Amino acid sequence: MLPSSMKKILPFWFAAMIMAVLGIVILQKKNIQLINYIEYPETNPLLLAEAYREEGEKYYKKVSEKYASLLQDADRREKMKNLPELARARRLFLESLKIKPASKGIYPFLSDLAEFEGDLASMYYYQGKRALLEDRTEAAIEAFDFSLNIRKDFLPPLEEIVSIHLQKGDLKKAEQSLEAIFRVFAEKSQEPNAGAFYLKSLVAQRKGNLEEQREALEIALEKDPSHIESARFLAGVLSMNKEYDRAVSVIERARASAPYDANLLHWMGMIYMKKGDYAKAAERLEDGLKIEKNSAPLYLDLARSYEKLGKKSHSSLMLQKAMEIDKSLKTNILFPKTD
């Protein structure tokens, strides 16, 4: 199915697409690689993520050596828990994941660190997260179940299981897992957190209860305005209701906790496009490309915003870049699939 961002392409786009294809052919024959047409900052967030990871691996090596030296020590778990290098390594790995969430190679390190200090529930949780990124859903469920067998009130694997059941279309099991999450909070005499209400909104959406969905999202963001998933979801709901200014405000607050999230900037750009403010849309999309330089959807939507602003040559260049990254765009634009 053709993405919504490509359904209303103006006649100009076909001419631009043909020119872009010719440009790519010429460049490929001359063995020239297209440059990025956006000015990027010297500090690349993805390089920062890699720097965090590399520094984390240095501390991980020290921690591994310490653990090996304590193998015959009955108190090694307690000693490892109080090891500053272990805390430092974990913090660096988690910071890297904030910037690059799909970095599955970090999870084995986090799993080992948890094992070193005897936190087997977290060890299995991280193994499950890695399995999810590798599309091994059943292995992920098994790991999350192992985690919960050790700590039945451990929220992270419970939250993942709700999401998995929703993805599989098993609404009944998703509801049961969601109820378990709220029971955990009740048993601890605590208020449910933003993540719990976000999952409640997903279940409500699947049930077709849009009022409950929006209410759950509003509560989630009252508890934590920087909860990214809730912000994205609520911004989408607000945008559909043409509450564009509030949608932008919701995303802006969420960005405080994720300044290197290109998807949030992409969302803002699309909201501005729906509002008809193509200049601000272009600004946000350009900001997104400063972070994620190889995103075909970002280049494609930036081409649309430039076209609306009358910047035909800029639009053509962005479209050309999008098609260089995603070769299927040429076919989709020339021969769009009908519903």
Judged against a pLDDT cut of 50, whether residue 41 lies above it is answered with no
145 and 156 together in one domain: no
Q: Domain span at residue 21? A: 1-38+293-339
**End of a domain among 189, 207, 225?**
207
Tell me the whole-structure pTM to 2 decimals: 0.76
The phi-psi region of residue 169 (left if phi > 0; otherwise alpha if psi is between -120 and 50; otherwise beta) is: left
Judged against a pLDDT cut of 60, whether residue 33 lies above it is answered with no
Residue 14 lies in a domain: yes
Q: What is the per-residue pLDDT for 25?
A: 43
Q: What is the per-residue pLDDT for 258?
A: 85
99 and 176 together in one domain: no
Judged against a pLDDT cut of 50, whether residue 37 lies above it is answered with no
18 and 51 together in one domain: no
Residue range 165-216, pLDDT digits in tens: 999 999 999 999 999 999 999 999 999 999 999 999 999 999 999 999 999 9
Instruction: Over range 121-128, report the average pLDDT.
Output: 97
180 and 113 together in one domain: no
Q: What is the per-residue pLDDT for 45?
A: 73
Confidence label for 250 from pLDDT (cuts 50, 70 and 90): very high
Judged against a pLDDT cut of 50, whether residue 9 lies above it is answered with no
Residue 24 lies in a domain: yes
Q: What is the per-residue pLDDT for 224?
A: 95
145 and 162 together in one domain: no
Residue range 265-313, pLDDT digits in tens: 999 999 999 999 999 999 999 999 998 888 999 999 999 999 999 999 9
Q: Are 24 and 319 in contact (CB under 8 A)?
A: no
160 and 134 together in one domain: no
Q: What is the per-residue pLDDT for 3?
A: 47
Judged against a pLDDT cut of 60, whether residue 334 lies above it is answered with no
Residue 179 lies in a domain: yes
Residue range 67-109, pLDDT digits in tens: 999 988 888 888 898 899 999 999 999 999 988 888 999 999 9
Residue 130 lies in a domain: yes
59 and 132 together in one domain: yes
Confidence label for 35 from pLDDT (cuts 50, 70 and 90): very low
18 and 101 together in one domain: no
Judged against a pLDDT cut of 70, whether residue 28 lies above it is answered with no
Question: What is the CATH number for 99?
Answer: 1.25.40
90 and 159 together in one domain: no
Report in angstroms the alpha-carbon separations of 208 from 185, 200, 236: 26, 12, 16
Residue range 130-146, pLDDT digits in tens: 999 999 999 999 999 99
